[in-house]
């Protein structure tokens, strides 16, 4: 168990690694010393979990839980103030025909739109999440990335979704990635930090595990699969690997970290598969929107339609649900 405080990730890292000075060599030895991921076993377990059936009462509960876990997202170059206000309004009232429908956890936008989302959401409890650090590429100077974060927080963001420098990570420069996450966390102030690893570019499950542990070591509050801008985005085996990482991290440090799969999760069946995997792999403590999120746009529509069907016994049809999903996410 680490004795370093959460406020000092460098001290905690030195403590966990058993070194007096944090170096790239020390990080490399530690990360490459993590147990490897059995690719065949991981994919087989994910496939088995995805076949679990959920009974009617549990399904109704799971649908409401999934809705409450959505980061309702628009991240397009063509985003307009009207579109962002409309998305935030949708988050406040996901189904005007049934006001008992829970609201999503957050609305996720570019940092310059965070103020518009904040104005609309007010004190509703729905968070404002903003992407930053030169999203989605992560290709900018450290100073520009940190200014991006401070600007988003200044505009009213409660949560920051940063992208790691995948080039540095894949080149084995783990210390650069660590320091960037630490400095980004400091720039967040009181905002929670989600660390996007862009797992589709990391290629292997071993790299996903290493990036997960590195992100948590540096103080990330969440680890997130993807930007939603490349394929593959979120997959069940990758998310399973990340859930194992947060479970093992809590066992090692006593610190709980959230998980956010993003991109490509569009249906109620998809969402329920993920919730079953969360329960079976990490445990019930993560079945809460403080610790698990879906980065999605069209997912809300399908969940609302399924909720209506369970209440009335018939599908309302897609025309009765607002289509606020931007393309490509």
Q: Could you tell me the domains of the chain?
A: 26-55+128-299 (3.20.20.70)
Can you tell me the mean pLDDT for 68-91?
97
Name the average pLDDT for the chain. Answer: 93
Can you tell me the mean pLDDT for 15-40?
97
Residue 253 has pLDDT above 60, yes or no: yes
Residue 7: its pLDDT value, please?
A: 62
DSSP 257-325: -EEE-BSS--SHHHHHHHHHHIIIII-GGG-STTTB-EEESTHHHHHHHHHHHHHHSS---GGGS---P
Per DSSP, what are the bridge partners of residue 129? 108, 159
294-296 and 258-260 beta bridge pairing = unpaired
Residue 104 has pLDDT above 50, yes or no: yes
Instruction: Read off the pLDDT of residues 50-62 as tens digits, 9 standing for 90 and up.
Output: 998 887 789 999 9
Extract the tokens encoding 99.
Answer: 């006001």
Range of weakest confidence among 28-42, 51-65, 183-197, 287-301 = 51-65
Residue 53: its pLDDT value, please?
A: 81
Q: 261 near 225, Cβ under 8 Å? A: yes
Residues annotated as part of the active site: 161, 224, 260
Give the span between the Cα atoms of 210 and 186, in whole angstroms.
22
Range of weakest confidence among 83-97, 109-123, 248-262, 315-329 = 315-329
% of residues, the chain, pLDDT over 70: 93
Q: Grade residue 313 by pLDDT with cuts at 50, 70 and 90.
A: confident
Residue 48 has pLDDT above 60, yes or no: yes
CA 148 remoteness from chain centre: 19
Sign of CA dihedral 58, 63, 64, 65: positive
Can you tell me the mean pLDDT for 243-266?
97
Q: Grade residue 158 by pLDDT with cuts at 50, 70 and 90.
A: very high
Q: Is this structure's pTM higher than 0.75? A: yes
Can you tell me the mean pLDDT for 170-188?
98
Can you tell me the mean pLDDT for 183-206?
97
Q: Grade residue 329 by pLDDT with cuts at 50, 70 and 90.
A: very low
Residue 320 has pLDDT above 60, yes or no: no
The long-range contacts involving 122-128, CB below 8 angstroms and separated by at least 24 positions, are 124/92, 126/88, 126/91, 126/92, 127/158, 127/159, 128/156, 128/157, 128/158, 128/159
Can you tell me the mean pLDDT for 109-137?
98
Residue 215 has pLDDT above 50, yes or no: yes
Give the span between the Cα atoms of 156 and 142, in whole angstroms.
22
């Amino acid at each position: 168990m680490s004795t370093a405080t959460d406020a000092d990730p460098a001290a905690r890292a030195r403590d966990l690694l058993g070194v007096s000075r944090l170096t790239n060599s020390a990080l490399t030895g530690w990360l490459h010393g993590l147990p490897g991921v059995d690719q065949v076993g991981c994919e087989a377990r994910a496939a088995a979990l995805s076949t679990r059936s959920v009974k009617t009462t549990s399904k109704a509960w799971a649908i409401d839980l999934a809705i409450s876990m959505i980061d309702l997202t628009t991240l397009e170059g063509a985003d307009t103030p009207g579109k962002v206000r409309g998305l935030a309004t949708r988050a406040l009232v996901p189904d005007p025909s049934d006001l008992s429908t829970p609201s999503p956890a957050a609305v996720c936008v570019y940092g310059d739109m965070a103020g518009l989302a904040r104005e609309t959401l007010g004190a509703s409890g729905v968070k404002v999440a903003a992407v930053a650090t030169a999203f989605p590429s992560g290709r900018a100077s450290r100073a520009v990335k940190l200014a991006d974060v401070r600007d988003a927080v200044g505009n009213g963001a409660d949560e920051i979704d940063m992208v790691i420098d995948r080039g540095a990570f894949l080149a084995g420069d783990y210390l650069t990635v660590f320091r960037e996450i630490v400095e980004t966390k400091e720039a967040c102030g009181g905002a929670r930090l989600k660390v996007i690893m862009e797992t589709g570019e990391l290629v292997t499950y071993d790299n996903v595990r290493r990036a997960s542990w590195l992100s948590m070591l540096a103080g990330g509050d969440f680890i997130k699969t993807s930007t939603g801008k490349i394929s593959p985005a979120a997959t069940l085996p990758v998310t399973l690997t990340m859930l194992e990482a947060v479970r093992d991290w809590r066992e090692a440090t006593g610190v709980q970290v959230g998980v956010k799969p993003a991109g490509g999760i569009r249906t109620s069946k998809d969402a329920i598969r993920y919730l079953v995997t969360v329960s079976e792999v990490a445990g019930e403590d993560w079945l809460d929107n403080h610790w698990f999120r879906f980065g999605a746009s069209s997912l809300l529509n399908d969940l609302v339609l399924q909720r209506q069907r369970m209440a009335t016994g018939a599908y309302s049809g897609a025309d009765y649900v607002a289509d606020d999903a931007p393309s490509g996410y």
